[in-house]
Amino acid sequence: MISRIDHIAIAVKDYDKAYNFFSTLLGAVPGSNSTDENMKYLWQNLYLGDLSRLELLTSTGPGSFLDGFLSNKDGGVHHITLQTPDIKKTAGFLDRNGIPYFGYHEYGSFWKELFIHPKHAFGVLIQIAEFNANDWIAPSVRMPQGKKFEIKPEHDGCTIMFPHPGGGRVAIPLNREEMMELHNKLNESL
């Protein structure tokens, strides 16, 4: 039912300070972002390493859905997003097991979501969504379309990169001995 944790969303009052902290100081790579005029907020995806993702959320004006969450604090974890391959099957599973959810939305074929309230999920707001992860990832952290692997030569070996089913890529560094072992095993299998 659940493929993986896609990202952790952090709501903040001071967007510029938070963005600088995660991108400049911690090296996160900025990805997709947008504003929602109806709900009055901005979201920004940030990528750390191969597969770790954060989403910064901030209010864009009075009446934002974040107002209550940020009323007594400067920021904090707002929700965790879990990826599912089939949102309708997930909703059916939740129904059969008596787990209430809300906010079911389908935004075309590219994003389908529902939420489980913190009172039903041990204090955590959970967003479950069906989507293609690579649609939301910065080009610099995803594999080129159609590539099954890339090899980047290094001084003392190489790094092999593979696409990850959750989007992005996985980098595996190999020293010269490991490269030779891999070469020999591949030759044995032919």
Q: Where are the domains of the chain?
A: 4-136, 143-189
Take residue 170 and report the two structure tokens written for it: 């996985």
Is 165's pLDDT higher than 80? no
pLDDT confidence of residue 170: 87
pLDDT confidence of residue 133: 83
Spatial distance between the Cα atoms of 62 and 182, rounded to a whole number of angstroms? 58
Record the pTM.
Answer: 0.82
Is 103's pLDDT higher than 90? yes
Is 149's pLDDT higher than 80? yes
Is 145's pLDDT higher than 90? no
pLDDT confidence of residue 93: 97
Mean pLDDT over each residue of the chain, to the nearest integer: 93
For residue 50, name the pLDDT band (cuts at 50, 70, 90).
Answer: low
Q: Mean pLDDT, to the nearest integer, of 18-30? A: 94
Identify the CA nearest to 6 among candidates 177, 165, 170, 186. 165
pLDDT tens track for 57-72: 999 999 999 999 999 9
pLDDT confidence of residue 125: 97
Is 44's pLDDT higher than 80? yes
Is 148's pLDDT higher than 80? yes
Query: Which residues on neighbouring strands pair with residue 115, listed in sequence order?
Result: 102, 127
Assigned CATH class of 4-136: alpha beta
Q: Mean pLDDT, to the nearest integer, of 39-67? A: 92
Least confident of 109-113, 152-156, 167-171: 167-171
Percent of the chain with pLDDT over 90: 77
Q: Does residue 88 contact residue 104 with C-beta atoms inside 8 Å?
A: no
Helix, coil or strand: residue 170? strand
CA dihedral (137, 139, 145, 150) positive or negative: negative
Q: Mean pLDDT, to the nearest integer, of 136-162? A: 88
Q: Does residue 141 contact residue 7 with C-beta atoms inside 8 Å?
A: no
Residue 170 identity (one-letter amino acid): V
- Residue in the structure block whose two tokens are 């707001």: 125
